[in-house]
Amino acid sequence: MTGCSWLVGLGLRTSCGRLVHHFSVVDGMADPGQARQAALERANDPSERAVHGTLRLDDGCVEMRRMSRDLPGAWRLSVPSPRTA
């Protein structure tokens, strides 16, 4: 299987525990596990962490959607994976 695009939603927690969702597109990954790992690594990068300030990553709260294009070229998203919190 060749790589595809994934929309990965990561949970970030505020200092009071409120959950905030941050979504990013991960390209070129063959399966959702690889896309999840790539998104978590990206979120833990120092420059990315600086953007999120005091929000802390909750790596147990991840939503995965496979992205694909239909014949006219419109993006389609798969049904979301169950979110864990």
* C-alpha 5, offset from chain centre: 11
pTM for the structure as a whole: 0.81
- 1 pLDDT band, cuts 50/70/90, is very low
| Buried-exposed string 30-43: b where 16+ CB fall within 10 A, e elsewhere | eebeebbebbeeeb
- 85 pLDDT band, cuts 50/70/90, is very low
* C-alpha 11, offset from chain centre: 9
Rounded to whole angstroms, the Cα distance separating 64 from 58 reads 15
